[in-house]
Amino acid sequence: RWGGSLPDRSSKFTKLTPDHIKAIRELLSSPGSLISTLDNSASPEDLAGFNNDWMGKYFGKSPVVVKPKTPEEIGKVMKYCYDNDIAVVPQGGNTGLVGGSTPIHDELILSTANLSSVRSFDPVSGILVADAGAILETVDHYLAEKGFIFPLDLGAKGSCHIGGNVATNAGGLRLLRYGSLHGSVLGLEAVLPDGTVWDGLSTLRKDNTGFDLKQLFIGSEGTIGIITAVSILCPRRPTAMNVAVFSLPSYEAVQKVYAEAKSHLGEILSAFEFFDKQGFALSSKHIEEIHGSERKIFETEGDFYCLIETGGSNAEHDEAKLSGLLEHLMSNEMVLDGVLAQDQTQFASLWSLRELLPEACGKAGSVYKYDLSVPVGKMYGLVEKMRKRLRDEGLLVGDGQKEGPIRACVGYGHMGDGNLHINIVANKYSEEIEKVIEPYVYEIVAAENGSISAEHGLGVMKAPYVSYSKNQTSIDMMRKIKQLFDPKGLLNPYKYIQ
C-alpha cells in the first residue's frame, strides 16, 4: 500500500517498552482497558482495527491501544505520556478520511471507545451532554425517542463518535439546515496534553466572558487535547420528512434546481446533495449487490442527480410545498426524471444512493479522496479539470476502465454548502498516481480561492498543503496555538500543520 510520502519517525519521542505498558496499565481502573503486543496481551491482528484507517490507505504500527473509562483516567495516562515524552494519537470511531486517526509510526493510541454515556438531556432547551465516545447514531436514536435530533448526520454515523465529529468539525448531510458544529456545540470537556482535565462543559447559549476556548478544539483533530465530553444544542426532530431524487441533464440544471428548491421550500429544505452519473453508476451497482437484484430507478437517466430532503412539522403543508416544486420542475423541463419516496423504506433507499457513495467508491478500488470548497458555480469544473489531467497523463481512459490505473473519477457533494467531493478510484494507491493528482488538485482549488478541506480536515494527508488555503500569518498563529497547548508536540504528531 502507498499512503503517500510520510514524515520519518522523530527521535524526540520515547520508544515504548514493556515497562511503560506496565506503568500505564496500573493507572487504569480496569486492566482490560489496555491491550498491547509488548506484554502479549494483544496480537498485531487485535490492533489492526486501530492501526489501519477506513480507506485502507494509512496504517500505523502502534504496539498499544488504551481505552480509559473516565476523563480522570485519560488525565493520568496523558500525564504519564507527557512526563515520559510518549507521542499519542487520539482515536474515536476511526472513520476519518485524511489519515488523522491512525498512528504514523508507533504512537500510543488513546481511544474514547469506553466513554460512551449520555450524561444529561434537557427536553426544554434541547441541550444534550454526552461522553465523547458515544456513537453518533446511538445518540441520535436516544434523541429520537424524545422528539429531538442530533444536529449532524453523516454516512459513518454507525461508527463515528461525537467527540470525533467535534474534533474534525464534521459537516455532513444536513449542515444546510442545522449549521456547523461551531454554532451548535455549547461546551466541551477535554484533557490537555499535560493531563489537566479542562471543564468547559457549559450549557449556556450565551457566554461572552472572554475567549471562546471551545472553538479552538472544534476541528483541532486531536492536536491540542482529547475531547472527553460534548454539550450540544439539539433541535426538535421534524415530524414530517420527504425525499426526492432527480436525474438532470447538466450541472447548470443542478444549480437551477437548487435555486428553485430554496425558493419553493424555504425553511423546510433540510438537504440538497448532488452526484454525477459516474457516482450514480457505482452506488447503484453497490446497492444492487447488497440486495442481490437489479433495480431500475429512473426511466430517463441523466449526467447528474440531485437529492432534495424536506423536514417540517406539518405533513400536509410540506407535501403541498414539495408538490409545487415538483410540478414547477417537471413543467419547465428542468429535470429529466424524478422519484419521490412514498414510504419509509423508499426514503431510506433513495438516501442510500447518496449515502453509500463513499462505500461504493471504496468497493471499486483504492480511493483518492478530495474534499473541497469553492463557489457553487465552480464546483463541477474542478472534476472536469481533474478528469482532463488524468486523461492527458494516460491514467484515465474514457470514463474509466475496470482494469485501467484509474477506474473512475467521481464528483458529488453537499451542494448547499459549496462542498465538492472528488473521488478518484484507482486500481491501487501508487506514488505515480498521487504525483499526477497532487498538488495539482490543490492548485486548482487555490486558483478559485477555495478550501483544500471543506469538512474532512487536514490529518497527515493535507498537512503539507495548508498554504494552498491559508496565508502565512494564519499558519503562524495556528503554530503558536499548538505550541501553547502542546509545547512538547506529543499529540497527534506529523499531522495538521507541520
Give residues 433-462 in contact with ligand FAD (rule: CB under 6 A): 455-456, 459
- Of 38-46, 97-105, 333-341, 427-435, the segment contacting ligand FAD by CB under 6 A is 97-105
Q: Find how far residue 228's CA is from the centre of its chain.
A: 19
Cell of 62: 502502534
Binds 400: which of ligand FAD, ligand MLT, none (CB < 5-8 Å by kind): none
Give residues 222-241 in contact with ligand FAD (rule: CB under 6 A): 222, 226-227
* DSSP states along 332-398: TT--SEEEE--SHHHHHHHHHHHHTHHHHHHHHSEEEEEEEE--GGGHHHHHHHHHHHHHHTTS--T
In the complex, the smallest distance separating the C-beta of residue 329 from ligand MLT, rounded to whole angstroms, is 24
Distance CA 187, CA 204 (A): 8
Q: Find how far residue 349's CA is from the centre of its chain.
A: 22
Give residues 76-115 in contact with ligand MLT (rule: CB under 6 A): 97
Judged by CB under 6 A, the residue of 13, 50, 54, 58 near ligand FAD is: 54
Give, for 435, the enclosing helix (H) or strand (E): helix 431-437
User: Does 155 help bind ligand MLT (rule: CB under 6 A)?
Assistant: yes
- Which residue's C-beta sits nearest to ligand FAD? 164
Give residues 136-175 in contact with ligand FAD (rule: CB under 6 A): 154-156, 160-161, 163-165, 167-168, 170-173
Q: Tell me, letter by letter, the H, E, C secondary structure of 196-244.
A: CEEEECCCCCCCCCCCCCHHHHCCCCCCCCEEEEEEEECCECCCEEEEE
Judge whether 15 and 107 are in contact, CB under 8 Å. Answer: no
Nearer to ligand FAD, 358 or 416 (CB): 358
In the complex, the smallest distance separating the C-beta of residue 58 from ligand FAD, rounded to whole angstroms, is 11
Nearest to 259 by CA among 377, 107, 397, 93: 377
Give, for 109, the enclosing helix (H) or strand (E): strand 108-111
Give residues 320-379 in contact with ligand FAD (rule: CB under 6 A): 358-359
Taking the CA atoms of residue 220, residue 221, residue 226 and residue 227 in that order, the dihedral angle to the nearest 10 degrees is 70
Distance CA 1, CA 439 (A): 20
Nearer to ligand MLT, 97 or 227 (CB): 97
Nearest to 255 by CA among 412, 377, 339: 377
User: Does 369 help bind ligand MLT (rule: CB under 6 A)?
Assistant: yes
User: Does 163 help bind ligand MLT (rule: CB under 6 A)?
Assistant: no
User: Does 358 help bind ligand MLT (rule: CB under 6 A)?
Assistant: yes
Nearer to ligand FAD, 57 or 264 (CB): 57
308 forms beta bridges with 244, 272
Distance CA 203, CA 125 (A): 10
User: Does 457 help bind ligand MLT (rule: CB under 6 A)?
Assistant: no
Distance CA 369, CA 279 (A): 13
User: Does 3 help bind ligand FAD (rule: CB under 6 A)?
Assistant: no
User: Does 57 help bind ligand MLT (rule: CB under 6 A)?
Assistant: no
CB proximity list for 191: less than 8 A, separation 6 or greater: 71, 74, 75, 78, 197, 198, 225, 226, 228
Residues 420-439, mask of contacts with ligand MLT (x by CB under 6 A): -x------------------
Nearer to ligand FAD, 115 or 253 (CB): 115
In the complex, the smallest distance separating the C-beta of residue 130 from ligand FAD, rounded to whole angstroms, is 12
Sites of contact with ligand FAD (CB under 6 A)? 54, 89-97, 100-101, 112, 132, 154-156, 160-161, 163-165, 167-168, 170-173, 221-222, 226-227, 358-359, 455-456, 459, 492
Sites of contact with ligand MLT (CB under 6 A)? 97, 155, 357-358, 369, 421
